[in-house]
Amino acid sequence: MSKPHHWNDWTYGLDLVIKCVVYIPLFYVIFMPWLCLALVKFELVPFMPGFFQAMASTGWLIASAAAFLFVVFVLLRGIFRKRRESSRASS
């Protein structure tokens, strides 16, 4: 049997698009400076050497760490809120 269709079934696709628009650039900002730093340190820069040196600069590494800490903060805050709500519901 097929599941009945609901009026908001289209939101699943929109949710996926919004997550891709947010998370792909966020992961790029978090991981790319560290990858570029590794490439520069091991002198394995394949092309566009100025790009890799620029991405391995201190500013991008700080931005990467700040973005990572923000993501961790948001995730932990959500976990603590769920735990607090479940403990209130059980009391």
Looking at residue 1, what is its pLDDT? 52
In a domain, 61, yes or no: yes
- How many structural domains comprise the chain? 1
Looking at residue 77, what is its pLDDT? 94
Give the residue with greater pLDDT, 39 vs 4. 39
- Residue 49 belongs to domain spanning: 11-90
In a domain, 4, yes or no: no
In a domain, 3, yes or no: no
In a domain, 54, yes or no: yes
In a domain, 2, yes or no: no
Using CA atoms, how far residue 35 sits from 24, 48, 51, 79, in Å, is 16, 14, 12, 29
Q: Count the alpha carbons within 13 Å of 21 in the hemisphere toward its beta carbon.
A: 6
The per-residue pLDDT for range 19-76, each reduced to its tens digit, is 889 889 999 999 999 998 888 888 887 777 788 888 889 999 999 999 999 999 998 9
Q: What is the pTM of this model?
A: 0.71
In a domain, 6, yes or no: no
CA angle, residues 85, 88, 74, in degrees to nearest 5: 25
In a domain, 72, yes or no: yes
